[in-house]
Amino acid sequence: MDLAFTPEERAFRDEVRAFIADNYPAELRGKQDEGEELGKEDMLSWHRILYRKGWVAPAWPTEYGGPGWSATQRYIFSEELARADTIPVLPFGINMVGPVIYTFGTPAQKERFLPRILSGDDWWCQGYSEPGAGSDLASLRTRAERVGDHYVVNGQKTWTTLAQHADWGFFLVRTDPAAKPQEGISFLLIDMTSPGVTVRPIITLGGEHEVNEVWLENVKVPVENRIFEENKGWTCAKFLLAHERTGIAGVARSKRGIERLKGIARAELDDTGQPLLANPFFRRKVAELECDLTALEFTELRTLAGEASGKGPGPESSLLKVKGTEIQQRITELVLEAVGQYGAPYFRAFPEGSNESPIGPAHAHRAAPTYFNMRKTSIYGGSNEIQRNIIAKMVLGL
Amino acid sequence: MDFSFTETQGMLRDSLARYLRERYDFDSRQKMLAMPGGRDPAIWKAFAEELGILGAGFPEEHGGLGGGHVDHMVIMEELGRAIAIEPYLDTCIVGGGALLAAGGDHAATLIPGIIAGDVIIAFAWAEPKSRYNPARIETRATADGAGWTLSGHKSVVIAAPYATHVLVTARTGGASGERDGVSLFLVEAGTAGITRRDYPTVDGWMASELFFERANVGPHALLGAEGQAMGLVDELLDRATAATCAEAAGTMRRLHELTLDYAKQRQQFGQPISKFQVIQHRLVDMLMEAEQAVSMAYQATLRLDLRAAERARAVSQAKAKIAKGARFLGQSAIQIHGGIGITNELAAGHYFKRLTMLESRYGDQDHHLARLEAMMMAEAA
């Protein structure tokens, strides 16, 4: 056992750090510092820079355009991205549908879709959840009927993140209504510009337009856009869920989040006028949170080491999801506590371009909306209750 | 020992609850938030004229119903159930309490106005650096012969955008943090030299930053003795805190009901999610927090007239307990609702937002625990 990086790994870390410092767009940095909403082009700009460098898909095999890094290098890379507080690369193409396509797709599908996922030319969204199928995903009812060389798809999806920007979506649809819930599902790639696709915004508690409803009305989807066998889509879905959960621990981001929290708590004063971070109640909560994060970090490292030695991501990733999201949520709780009364003013009352700046210190503007919004993390990607069921069943054999 | 309500209090609760059910359902509230000014002023007028509740806590010689803290508690709990955005706490409990303490002309002229729904009072006690300590203020009032001149910045003043009067704490002496030298003023909202920045809060209220730039007010604006207001300010804040506890208890009970209803109808894995034990236990834990919140609201309310230290202990215990319970209950409600709980489409999310703000209103859990610990330290010394 050895915690130290090798000289090669240290050199790699320096290379990554220098690249980010030299190439991260100043405009993006400015918008992040100002807390501005990021548009589609903002979100893609960093993706494209990483793509040109060949670093946009660290986990992909080299034959499909991955950099061929070790698990340790991937860890260093994600640490450095978080350390520099870069915007995250959107997961829907790179982390989700991409691995499904290179694992289950035909050569033609790989050739058609993978390069455009890497380059960012196609923006992807995920059509999984339905109004009646959340934690019980396999009860989904969106129907795809085979008519000659295409499917006709009808149904409604929900919680579709950033579908308003999407060129393509990957959808779970029911192709055999007579089969058991998990056996009649297929995995379809749908062109979001197809006639019959309607995207409607859902506004969440902080006022964000992040998620959408997607309505599918007689949408024609060529059979060649089906990944893997008909009625075997659940295999792809399960594979993807496991992939989604690695990295969901969000250790590096949470480290950055705690640094930010400490910065806020140094600037805020407690009831006696000393910095809040020096307040015995508050500093203890931050210390406890740091313990939790260290425990998560080393649990993730052990999982990574297991993966590096050939074990795929298993049910341990459910532990990472539960603890990771609890920590992410706790950070937002403490930020909201730290800003005190200035958590109340609603910053969206002062839209960008208005003559007036929002109320209170800049670090307070999004504290409450972010706290509200982050409640989603223990719900999405398989709720934390479902994750505990998975651990009970798969790890404990109950 | 008697935890029953008087007949008047029962009628007060029933009539307000009925009114809020009929006129203040979720959709109606959403429409009010979208109105110019962010509220429907007709509701407050109806509280005065149709329901006659604004005088509940005022003595009969001022035209009130002669009730007290328990009447306030009953009203606050019902307002909490409806997540109403009406300034009862600010105007009737804090403003009214200050006027009754001051007595004289102020009380005689303004209390009838409050009861009639014409006078609305906002309480400007917090400042950008005060956190939850009302003595950590820098706003200054200097005697200028004909009265007082106020200068300073008061933050997140709830109801200030539509208040007719503002109750303001300001230093006539001493330095920030000192209890001596704090004075209490009642000023008219339109006074020259006061500017406002109005804004909505994340939970649907309207508030203002208030800037006093050499605002001149008359000699009668000073309530009580110069520099000696902290005792009264503490008492007003304790009453406000107890009222907030009652409000939170009402909000918690309602949010628990909404969540229970949802869990019974939401089907996953072929059955209502309320059939899952993990959900059942969470719903039970939520109920326990809601019921303890009600108990703590009673406890604090019934001790508001004890001497200052006992009152403070009762109120801080209640608020510390409720702040923690409110967070647990609110987060659990969202978790059980799942994705739909994160949206603005269901009432549950709005109750969660309100509860989150109530957690820290008039001091968060840390503030009130620290207050209790300071009392313990004094005993140990």
Residue spans per domain, chain A: 7-89, 124-231, 246-395
pLDDT for res A29: 87
CB contact under 8 A, B338 and A134: yes
B334: nearest CB among A269, A349, A375: A375
User: Distance between CA atoms of B12 and B53, rounded to whole angstroms?
Assistant: 7
CB contact under 8 A, A340 and B370: no
Rg (CA), chain B: 21
Give the pLDDT band (50/70/90) at residue B104: confident
pLDDT for res A355: 74
A342: nearest CB among B156, B177, B364: B156
CATH 2.40.110.10, chain B: domain bounds? 122-228
Q: Worst-scoring range by mean pLDDT, A73-87, B36-50, B130-144? A: A73-87
pLDDT digits (tens, 9 = 90+) for A98-113: 999 999 999 999 999 9
pLDDT for res A99: 96
From chain A, the residues in CB contact with B364 under 8 A are 337, 340
Asked whether residue B201 carries a pLDDT value surpassing 70, the answer given is yes
A271: nearest CB among B199, B269, B370: B370
Question: What's the mean pLDDT when you consider all of chain A?
Answer: 93
pLDDT for res A305: 76
pLDDT for res A379: 95
CB contact under 8 A, A337 and B345: no
Asked whether residue A259 carries a pLDDT value surpassing 80, the answer given is yes
Nearest CA of chain B to the CA of A355: how many Å? Answer: 12
Nearest CA of chain A to the CA of B198: how many Å? Answer: 9
From chain B, the residues in CB contact with A350 under 8 A are 199
Report how far apart, in Å, the C-alpha atoms of A235 and of each of A113, A138, A238, A294, A380 are.
20, 12, 5, 34, 20
From chain A, the residues in CB contact with B353 under 8 A are 205, 368, 372
CB contact under 8 A, B353 and A205: yes
Nearest CA of chain B to the CA of A243: how many Å? Answer: 21
pLDDT digits (tens, 9 = 90+) for B261-285: 999 999 999 999 999 999 999 999 9
Question: Which CATH code of 1.10.520.20, 2.40.50.140, 2.40.110.10, 3.30.70.260 fits the domain covering A124-231?
Answer: 2.40.110.10
User: Distance between CA atoms of B97 and B92, rounded to whole angstroms?
Assistant: 7
The residue from A79, A80, A244, A337 that is catalytic is A244
The fourth-level CATH superfamily of domain B7-89+103-118 is: Acyl-CoA dehydrogenase/oxidase, N-terminal domain (1.10.540.10)
User: Distance between CA atoms of B44 and B52, rounded to whole angstroms?
Assistant: 10
**Mean per-residue pLDDT, A39-53:** 96
Task: Examine the residue annotation and report whether A217 is marked as an active-site residue of this protein.
Answer: no
For the ranges A23-32, A195-204, B100-109, the maximum mean pLDDT occurs at A195-204
ipTM over 0.95: yes
CB contact under 8 A, A341 and B155: yes
Q: For residue A150, give the H/E element and its range.
A: strand A150-157
Report how far apart, in Å, the C-alpha atoms of A184 and of each of A172, A180, A248, B270 are.
10, 7, 28, 17
Give the pLDDT band (50/70/90) at residue A245: low
Angle between helices B69-81 and B7-23 (to 10 degrees): 20
Give the pLDDT band (50/70/90) at residue A150: very high
Count how many pairs of residues, chain A against chain B, have C-beta atoms within 8 Å. Answer: 138
Nearest CA of chain A to the CA of B354: how many Å? Answer: 10
pLDDT digits (tens, 9 = 90+) for A205-227: 999 999 999 999 999 999 999 99
Which position has the higher pLDDT, A249 or B370? B370
A368: nearest CB among B126, B202, B279: B202
Closest CA to A296 of A355, A251, A359, A363: A251
Q: For residue A199, give the H/E element and its range.
A: strand A197-203
pLDDT for res B132: 98
CB contact under 8 A, B199 and A135: no
Nearest CA of chain B to the CA of A383: how many Å? Answer: 8
Which of B178, B237, B342 is the best residue to mutate to test the A interface, defined by the most A CB atoms within 10 Å of its own CB? B342
Q: Which two tokens stand for residue A215?
A: 């309505």
**Mean per-residue pLDDT, B325-341:** 98
3 state SS of A324: helix
CB contact under 8 A, A346 and B352: no
From chain B, the residues in CB contact with A206 under 8 A are 202
Question: What's the mean pLDDT when you consider all of chain B?
Answer: 97
Give the pLDDT band (50/70/90) at residue A313: low
Closest CA to B326 of B261, B262, B244, B264: B244
Question: Which CATH code of 1.10.486.10, 3.40.50.2020, 2.30.130.10, 1.20.140.10 fits the domain covering B231-380?
Answer: 1.20.140.10
Report how far apart, in Å, the C-alpha atoms of A193 and of each of A144, A166, A199, B141 are.
18, 9, 10, 65
B197: nearest CB among A136, A272, A359: A359
Nearest CA of chain B to the CA of A379: how many Å? Answer: 6
User: Distance between CA atoms of A388 and A385, rounded to whole angstroms?
Assistant: 5
B131: nearest CB among A207, A269, A356: A269
Nearest CA of chain A to the CA of B227: how many Å? Answer: 20
Asked whether residue A39 carries a pLDDT value surpassing 70, the answer given is yes
CB contact under 8 A, A343 and B360: yes
CB contact under 8 A, A360 and B366: no
Give the pLDDT band (50/70/90) at residue A244: low
Residue of B nearest to A380 (CA): B339
pLDDT digits (tens, 9 = 90+) for B44-97: 999 999 999 999 999 999 999 999 999 999 999 999 999 999 999 999 999 999
Q: Which two tokens stand for residue A287?
A: 């210390």
Domain A246-395 architecture:
Up-down Bundle (1.20)
pLDDT digits (tens, 9 = 90+) for A355-393: 788 899 999 999 999 999 999 999 998 899 999 999 999
From chain B, the residues in CB contact with A362 under 8 A are none
Residue of B nearest to A159 (CA): B339
Which position has the higher pLDDT, A240 or A148? A148
**Mean per-residue pLDDT, A183-196:** 97
CB contact under 8 A, B200 and A372: no
Spatial CB neighbours of A364, under 8 Å, sequence gap ≥ 6:
A339, A342, A343, A345
CATH of domain B122-228: 2.40.110.10
CATH 1.20.140.10, chain B: domain bounds? 231-380
Which of A272, A341, A354 is the best residue to mutate to test the B interface, defined by the most B CB atoms within 10 Å of its own CB? A341
A136: nearest CB among B268, B327, B344: B268
Closest CA to A228 of A178, A172, A179, A149: A172
**What percent of chain A has pLDDT above 70?**
96
Which DSSP state fits A93?
A: I
